[in-house]
Amino acid sequence: MRTTIMITFAFIFTTIATAAIFAEGKSSQSSDTKAEYNNELNFPRFAEPIPNITVSVGRDALLACVVDNLKGYKVAWVRVDTQTILSIHHNVITQNPRITLSYNDHRSWYLQIKEVEENDRGWYMCQINTDPMRSRKGYLQVVVPPVILEQYTSNDMVVREGSNVTLNCKAK
C-alpha cells in the first residue's frame, strides 16, 4: 500500500511539474511574441505600396514612397536594374539632372524624373536602412508614341456632306 501511495504521489508530482514547465514555456513564448510584436511596432513600415505608373516620353514621372514611424532611419531610392543609388534621405546622389527628390513631414518621399526618356523604364526601389533592410518597388512604364509618316498620311480635305472619304494614317 505504501508503494502504491508513493508511486501515485510521484506520478501526480511529475504531471504537475511537467504541466508547470510547459505552461511556463508557453508564457515565455507568448511574452517573446508580444515583445517581438511591440518591437515591430517601433520600426518604420511602408504605409502603402509604391504604385506602378505609366508615363509618355517627355512627360514627368513621380514615384511616391510613404513610410510610417521613420524616426532616425533613412530613406533611399535605387534604380533596381542598374543598382544605381539615386537618393539617400534628403540628398540626391545621382548626377542625372532630371532626377529630383522631395518629401513631406518625414513620411512621404517623392522621386521625380523630369522629361522621361525611354531608357528610364524599369523598377525603382524605396529602401529604409533598418536591419534587415526594408524595401518596396514600383515599376515605371514609359510609353513611346508612334511617329506619323506625313508623306503617307492624308492632308486636310474638303468634302460634301454625305460623300465618301478615305483617310490614311501611317505610323512606325
Residue 32: band (very low, low, confident or very high) from pLDDT cuts 50, 70, 90: low
Average pLDDT over residues 34-48: 74
Range ranked top by mean pLDDT from 25-29, 38-42, 102-106, 108-112: 108-112
What does the domain layout of the chain look like in residue ranges? Answer: 1-42, 45-143
pLDDT tens digits along 74-105: 999 999 999 999 999 999 999 999 999 999 98
The closest of 56, 76, 65, 61 to 113, measured between CA atoms, is 61
Residue with cell 510521484: 10
Output the CA angle 134-139-86, nearest 5 degrees. Answer: 60
The closest of 137, 136, 72 to 106, measured between CA atoms, is 72
Answer with the residue of higher pLDDT: 47 or 11: 47
CA distance 170 to 146: 9
Residue 171: band (very low, low, confident or very high) from pLDDT cuts 50, 70, 90: confident
Average pLDDT of the chain is 82
Cα separations in angstroms, 19 against 11, 14, 25:
12, 8, 10
Residue 12: band (very low, low, confident or very high) from pLDDT cuts 50, 70, 90: very low
Annotation: CATH topology of 45-143: Immunoglobulin-like (2.60.40)
Average pLDDT over residues 26-51: 68
Name the pTM for this structure: 0.69
pLDDT tens digits along 110-142: 999 999 999 999 999 999 999 999 999 999 999
Average pLDDT over residues 55-59: 98
